[in-house]
Structure 1
Amino acid sequence: MSSTPPQVLLGVSGGIAAYKSAELLRRLTESGHAVRVLPTEAALEFVGAATFEALSGQPVASGVFSDVPSVQHVRLGKEADLVVVAPATADLMARLAHGRSDDLLTAALLTARCPMLLAPAMHTEMWEHPATRDNVALLRSRGTVVLEPASGRLTGKDTGPGRLPDPAEIFEFSHLLLERADALPRDLEGRHVVVSAGGTREPLDPVRYLGNRSSGRQGYAIARVAAQRGARVTLVAGHTAELADPAAVHVVHAPTAREMQVAMHEAATDADAVVMAAAVADFRPVDLAENKIKKGGGEVPPLRLAENPDILAGLVRERPAGQVVVGFAAETGDETGGPLHHGREKLRRKGSDLLVVNAVGDGKAFEVSDNAGWLLGADGGEQEIPNGSKALLASRLWDAVRARL
C-alpha cells in the first residue's frame, strides 16, 4: 500500500445489521484508512447520518443530487482503493447485479474499478432463495468478493445462515484485499479442508497446565480464508485468545493434545487438505493432581512428563491418496542453524507436502496480528513469505495447496 491513506468507500444498506457497520467504520478509521460512508435511504432508518459523520469525519449523503458540481456518483467510485458494503442486503445485491444506479451508493459501485467486498446479511430464506443465489453467482463471476454469511441469531427468534459476519472479520478481509486484490478467488469450492489452531493445554492440577503462547490467530485466518474461497471447513481449535468462530466454518474444540489428535483424525478422513497450524504441547504431566498443588515445606514436588503424540506425523502416515498435508514449524534457531535450517529438517522428518516455517521470539509470530516466514515444499520448492497480515499468509498458503490438489 502507498504512504497515503487508503481510500475506502463503506456502503451501508438497509437491514437491522446496519448498526454493526459503525464498529467496522471505527476499525477502518483507527487503522489509518480514509473512509467515506455511503448509506442507502433505508440504512439511515436504522443508523443516523450523524453517527457515520462523527466516526468518519466525512460528510454523508445518499442521493445522486447531493453536491452535484463535484459529480460524486462518479468521482467517489473512481477514487476508491476499496469498496466494502456491510451489510449487503438481498435488494442491494440484486440492484448491483443488474446494473441499477438509483442512489449514490449503487452509482458509485458501478464506477468503482477497485476490489469490492460485499458482506451479506438477511434472513436464511432470503439468502437461500434462487434469485439471491443467482445474483451472488453473477457478482462473483465478475470478480466481486461476496462473503459467506455467518450462522446465528437473526431478527426476532430466527436462527440460521444469513447473519452478518463479525465486524472484526470483515475488517480482516478488507485489509487483506488492500494487501492483495486477488486473495479470495472461489477456487476451493467442492473441497473439504481441515485446519487446527491455537495451543493445547495439558492439565497439571485443577488450576494449572502446561501450554504455550499460541493465540490461534494464524490458524483462524487460514480457516476464514479457506471458507471464503469456497471450501467446506472444519476448524479444530485448541486454546485460543477468545477468538470468535469464523463465518461459515464448523468449529470443533479440542483443548488437549490427545483430544486434538482424535478430532483431527476423525475430521481428516474425507478431507482434501489438512493444515496442522496448532501449537501442540510436546509433553504432558504424567500425574494429574486431584487438588491444587500447594507450596510449602521447602520441597518442590517432582514433575514427571510424558511425550504427547506427533499429530502431524500421524496424519501424514494415515492420509488417503491425493490428500495434501501442511505442517507448521515455529523455530528460533541455535548453534546448529537458523529457523530455515531447522524447518528443512522438520519437513524431511514429518513427510508433509508443505511446511510453513515461522521465526519466533522478539515479538514475532505469537500473539501478534502479522506474520512472515517461508513456505517449503516436499518437492524442494522454497518461497519466502514477506511480513504481512496473517490472512495474507493464509492466502499464499491456499495458493500452494490449490496448486497441489
Structure 2
Amino acid sequence: MLTALALINFLDKIVLGMVAVPMMRDLNLSPAQFGVVAGSFFWLFAVSTVLVGFLSNRVQTRWLLLAMGILWAVLQIPQALFSSMAAFLASRVVLGAAEGPFYPVSVHALYKWFPNEKRNMPVALLNQGAVVGLLIAGLLIPVITHHWGWRMNFVVLGVIGAVWSMLWLCVGREGNLAQRPRGNASTGAGAARQTVPYRELLSNPTILCVFFLGFAAYWMLGANMTWLPTYLERALGFSGIASGRWFAVVIATAAPFSLGLSWLSQRMLARGASSRSARVRLLCAVFVAGACLFVALMLPGLAPVQKVAMFALAGALPTVCFALAPALLSEVVPDTQRGALIGIHTAIASTGAAIAPMLIGRIVQAHGSTTARAYELGFMTSAAMLILAALVAWRWLHPERSRRAASEPVATSAA
C-alpha cells in the first residue's frame, strides 16, 4: 500500500511535466513562467514536511498517511478546472504542501517494521512505486491527453487517490519495532540518550552531509521530471506519444539500478562492511558516475536515441540515494526523533526540486527552447550538484564516528 501511495505521489508530481506542451500553449505560458508553476509545488513542501515530521513522533503514521491520501484526491479536481496561471499556481502550492510529508512519514512507518541492517531494501521497494508511477505516466498521460485533453489527467488522479484511501482505511497498520537503550533500565545514561537536542543533531556533520546528498538528488529529480518530457519532444524531435514512451524507458531504467544498488549495499552490511563503505562510498561513486553521464550529453555527434540512453543511466544511478539517505540518518538519530529528522531532511532536500525547474527554465528561455543544447546546459546543473555533494560526503560523512559520539544504539528488535 505504501508503494502504491508512492506511485500516486509521483503521478501527481510528473503530470505537469507530461502536459507541459499543451498546457503552455493553452495558458499562454513562457518556459520561464512554466518553470515557476512547476517549482511552486515545492514552495510549501518543505514547511509541511517538517511540521508533519514532528507530528509523526506523536501521531500514528497510518492516520497521517490516510489524511494525505484523502487530501491528494480532493486537490486534484481544482487543477482540472482552473485556467489562469495564478489560480493554477495556488492549486499546485497547496497540493505540494499536502504531498510533502509523504516520504518521511512512509519511511518512518517502514522503519517501525525493519531493523537498521535490513532497511535498505524495504525503502528501495517503496521507491519503486515512484518508478512505476513515472512509467505509467509516460505511457498513459500522453494517451489521455491526446483523446480527452490534458485536464482529464487530474480527474483520473483524483479517482485513483480516493480508491487508495478507502483501501488504506481497511488494511493500514502500525509497526512495533522500537529502539532499546543500552543498559538494563529506563533510567541512567542509556535513557538519557533517548532524545538528543535538535541543535546537536542539526550540527552533526553526518546529518548535514546526508541533507546535501538529498538536496543534489532532489535537484536532479526535479529537473528531470519537469524538463525531460519537453526535452524529448521539442529538442530531440520525438512526437508526443513517442516522447511519453521514451520517458517511460528512462524511468524504467532506474528500477533495476535502485534495487540492485540497495541490495548490494545491504549485502555488504551483512558481510561485515562498515556503513561508510556500504552506504557512503557507494553513494559517492554513483553520484560521480551519474554526473559524468549528464556532462556527456553535450558530446557532439550523438543521435537522439543515444542521448536518451545516456540520460536514462545518468538519472538512474543517483536514485539509490532515496533508499540509503534515510538509512544513514536512522543510524545516528534516536527512534523517538527519527520522524522529525527525516522530515527535516526531506524538506531541505526538496528545495533542490523547487529551485532546479525555475533555473533550468531561465536557461532554456535564454538559449532557445527548441535546441537540445539549451536543455543540456540546464541538466549540467544536476551534474555540478551531484559532484559537489559526492565530494562533501566523501570528506565528512562518517556514520560510525557520529554514532559513537552520540552513544546512541539503533533498532535491532521488536519491543
Q: Do they superpose with TM above 0.5?
A: no
Please identify the structure whose Cα radius of gyration is greater: 1
Normalization by structure 1: what TM-score? 0.24
Whose strand proportion is higher, 1 or 2? 1
